[in-house]
Amino acid sequence: MNDTVIQINNLVKKYKRYKKAEGIRGSIGSLWHRSYEEKMAVNHIDLSVKQGEFIGLIGPNGAGKTTLIKMLTGIIAPTEGKIDVLSYYPNDLKNEFKKQYAVVMGQKSQLFFELTVNDTLRLFKEIYEISEEQFQKNKKYFVELFGVAELMDVQVRTLSLGERMKMELIVSLLHNPKILFLDEPTIGLDAVAARQIRRFLKEINEKNGTTIILTSHYMDDIKVLCKRTVVINHGMKIYDGATEELFDRYQKNKKIIATFGEPTGNLIFKTQDVLLTEDTPHKKVYEVPKHSAKDLLSELMEYEPNDIAVEEEEVGVIVERIYRKGEE
């Protein structure tokens, strides 16, 4: 049995962009002669996704992530290459295909703000031609999962950002899609709401077997949810593999925080390449290559600190390193 739900080979998307010289003279000149430049948004990408995978898709702004998602959902057609999603060519836009996936974008809402949540859900029931029995079953499951029973009769426009994102997910999952595309689902959310959304997505993936493709600039989303990560830069795939391995490869340093009961001056170490990033009489923060962290900890213990904490390098720093590597 073939459990591959997405298969793309040598996928390319090129755009032509209009260029005009500055000022009125440039505008008048463009009436007779227009100049264009070609932009390669997606550059010969291969990708295979199996049913039930939860994949992180990351890259800097303009890397080609959104263009790739648009091709996978049929919004735009590829310039070259082969693309197969659930045994369909997405850009044919067949209704049978559109009923098998869902898209949630953190910056674009698909809700109807003047309606109540219940009426919005019923509207989507009709759009996706869901039976009454299936609708009630799915609605009950998601309302309980997200804990939003008290919000069902209120107008959508009165919901907070976190509440609205929960409703976006419920609307998208109401028809039991086989694939869920998520574009920045936690953008703008506070820490509590973001954790709730991650927990819900993990449960949906594990219990329902929904294949999820997640794009996010919040690397906590990727680290917590995605066992596999694909990194795209300048339209090219520069990494495709285990998320843990990706961060291990590019995480070069450890942060070591030592606190002291008595005021402490400058500390001397034999360990090489130790960088002091914060220095107060009662607290020292060091950055050290991860292979040297054990040696520094041993030396720090000789100064009898009250407490020592070891932290991973900040995720943002690691991601910048990944992107820079892709530009070399």
How confident is the model over 296-328, as pLDDT tens digits? 999 999 998 999 988 776 666 776 777 776 555
For 251-269, letters b (16+ CB in 10 Å) and e give bebbbbbbebeeebeebeb
Structural domains of the chain, with CATH: 4-249 (3.40.50.300), 253-312 (3.30.70)
- pTM greater than 0.95: no
- CA-CA distances (angstroms) from residue 300 to 152, 265, 275, 312? 56, 13, 14, 18
The Cα 137–Cα 255 span in angstroms is: 49
Question: For residue 1, what pLDDT is reported?
Answer: 47
In this predicted structure, what is the pLDDT of residue 217? 77
Per the CB < 8 A criterion, the answer to whether 66 and 106 are in contact is no
Q: Across the 328 residues of the chain, what is the mean pLDDT of every consecutive 10-residue run?
A: 87 82 74 77 94 91 87 93 95 92 82 91 93 94 90 92 89 93 82 85 91 86 90 89 86 88 90 90 90 91 90 70 66
Q: How far apart are CA 121 and CA 134, in angstroms?
A: 13
Distance, in Å, from the CA atom of 28 to the CA atom of 160, rounded to the nearest integer, reads 48
Chain-centroid distance, C-alpha 51: 19
Q: Residue 227 to residues 79, 83, 118, 184, 221: CA-CA distances in angstroms?
A: 30, 23, 35, 18, 11
* Distance between CA atoms of residues 102 and 128, nearest Å: 11
Distance CA(319)–CA(316), nearest Å, equals: 5
